[in-house]
Amino acid sequence: MVLERTLIIVKPDGVVRGYVGEVLRRFEMKGLKIVALKMLKLERSEAERLYAVHKGKPFYEELIGYITSAPIVVAALEGNEAISVVRKIIGPTNPKEAEPGTIRGDLGLTVTKNVIHASDSKENAAYELSIFFGEKDYVKYEREG
């Protein structure tokens, strides 16, 4: 068993369309623990840190504008192989390619408005989590059921 911690972001379209509870429910139903959670309106500087890997790409400014356009919900999830489990639950970036039953397949509209962002590796999870949470933000508890 490999216990991992990863980041998910319910993007602006997921928040304004009322999908925060549905998104979090899917992860909890799979047995992942929410160990940190907050809602915020991302500042440009935070968005630039989050999407630094895309700087210079043609879609960068649109991405920054979108992620700062409305509130987001960020959560740290913890569980056995959490990163790969989360990636499977969310589906591919393009909702048209995502299987029914995945978050993006069921709820996503476009490549940008696809409801959710999730870390794709241990390194990216550590980096992205550090943008939103410090060690004092994580809550330890045992899940039942």
The tens digit of pLDDT for each residue in 27-38 reads 999 999 999 999
Contact between residue 83 and residue 4 where contact means Cβ atoms under 8 Å apart: yes
Contact between residue 23 and residue 125 where contact means Cβ atoms under 8 Å apart: no
How many residues are there in the chain?
Answer: 145
1 falls in which pLDDT band (50, 70, 90)? confident
The three-class DSSP label of residue 120 is coil
Q: What is the mean pLDDT of the chain?
A: 96
Contact between residue 116 and residue 90 where contact means Cβ atoms under 8 Å apart: yes
One of 117, 119, 125, 129 is an active-site residue; which one? 117
80 falls in which pLDDT band (50, 70, 90)? very high
CATH classification of 10-133 is 3.40.50.720, yes or no?
no
Say whether 54 is catalytic.
no
- State the Cα–Cα distance between residues 12 and 14, nearest whole angstrom: 5
The domain locations on the chain are: 10-133
Residue 76 confidence (pLDDT) above 80: yes
Query: Residue 65, Cα to own-chain centre: how many angstroms?
Result: 17
